[in-house]
Amino acid sequence: MVSQILFIAITVASIALFSYNLKKVIRNIRFGKATNRSDQPKKRLMMMLKVAFGQTKMFFRPIPAILHLVVYAGFVIINLEVLEIMIDGIFGTHRVFGGLGIFYDALIGSFEFLALGVWLACVIFLIRRNIIKLKRFSGVEMKNWPTSDANYILITEILLMTAFLLMNAADGKLQAMGAAHYSAAGAFPVSQFLQNLLPNTEAGLIAIERGCWWFHIIGIFAFLNYLPYSKHFHIMFAFPNTYFSNLEPKGEFTNMQSVTNEVKAMLDPSFTPPEGEVGRFGAKDVNDLTWVNLMNAYTCTECGRCTSVCPANITGKLLSPRKIMMDTRDRMEEVGRNLDKAAKSGTDIGNGFDDGKSLIDTYISREEIWACTSCNACTQACPINIDPLSIITELRRYAVMEESQSPASINAMLGNIENNGAPWKYSPADRFNWAKQD
């Protein structure tokens, strides 16, 4: 009874803490401006099933895709056993579904093969990151915590799979010994090879089985509450993120009507802009972006596929699309902390964004946003349809339309377009002079 009460207390506390942190994350996402992504529901559902569930974009890199698929399948399928663990923990039973017979044997056997696959895949991922040191896992934004975060999760997965197999190995040996409370249930095609490493005493085996059982379930609860602080939040957000993907043509301007209304107001003083017209062009801070942009930031896996195909980054420029997403998330978190501090102290800080900082300049430099070629390679490469370009475009739009600040080359081009109708510094009548023969 003591263990049951302890289990229920840990379960309730874990779920409550996760709900509290998730509520904060949703609050932070709501800093963003409204945008309608509820159109074409069938197309959106197919997009989610294909990209998030089917992981189709992962297979542009087959080796990591296969490894990730193993981890993904293991994470989803093995955790079906959590249902049994929850029931056993609450009611004090042991392998409550064992009565399913051959079906249960097949299920546990498949879990073991998946656990072995996850264990091997995570070891390979650790080697790729820390020994081979693949280039796309490096960068100025991948120092300290981002690197440690990835390693922590991989090591945790290895430990959880090890505990799962050791638990089954001890359980199988106890079943063979006819120990009380350990009735024959399940097949152990992988863990049976670990039984020779375990003691032969019933007390020792029970200690290992119970210890691994508690480690496994507490590890899962700890992992759950680690997600809000980790890039691995994509486990939850990948599905809504792909569902709310931008279905419009890539690179299409989103503020043409606002610009048109601004020009009309300049030419006709009697013109009244429609109600709800934006008060600022582009984005200076996270509250100027849309909620989809902010959800993108929380969904980013920091895999580096966007940066690895970015032509600006490849040629040595400062821009890294991955850093854009990480900076957006960091700024959003900072704004959220400001609101929390103000709430605790009873200070009224209005909308919580006036702290002397902003996304542009404080987090993302002008050099970064102007290095972008707007080619959409980053958006195309992202396995879960994150769109760094839309954030870069909004920051540029703010710099040009609100501050009239842009590089000299851009100003020259804009001036030529205004005066000559083309980016070049000559008359439109001379455009085809190059085709004339002497």
pLDDT at 1 (0 to 100): 77
pLDDT at 437 (0 to 100): 67
Residues 6+ apart with CB under 8 A from 183: 94, 95, 98, 175
Q: Enumerate long-range contacts of 100-109, CB under 8 Å, 24 or more apart.
A: 104/185, 104/186, 105/185, 105/186, 105/187, 106/187, 107/80, 108/81, 108/168, 108/186, 108/187, 108/188, 109/186, 109/187, 109/188, 109/189
**What DSSP string describes 266-326?**
HH-TT--PPTT--SSSS-SSGGGSBHHHHHHHHH-----HHHHH-HHHHTT-S--HHHHHH
Residue 405: pLDDT over 80: yes
pLDDT at 273 (0 to 100): 74
Return the higher-pLDDT residue of 335 and 272.
335
Q: What tens digit of pLDDT does each residue of 73-83 get?
A: 888 887 778 88
Cα–Cα nearest to 365, from 324, 401, 332, 330: 324
Residue 236: pLDDT over 60: yes
Place of tokens 């896996």: 301
Residues 6+ apart with CB under 8 A from 112: 165, 168, 188, 189, 190, 191
Residue 184: pLDDT over 90: no
pLDDT at 169 (0 to 100): 95
Residue 276: pLDDT over 80: no
Average of per-residue pLDDT across 157-185: 91
When the candidates are 1.10.1060, 1.10.3470, 1.10.4160, 2.60.40, the CATH number that belongs to 256-428 is 1.10.1060
The mean of the pLDDT values for the chain is 90
Q: How far apart are CA 387 and CA 377, in angstroms?
A: 10
CA angle (20, 386, 127) in 5-degree steps:
85
Q: What tens digit of pLDDT does each residue of 116-163 get?
A: 999 999 999 999 999 999 999 988 999 889 989 999 999 999 999 999
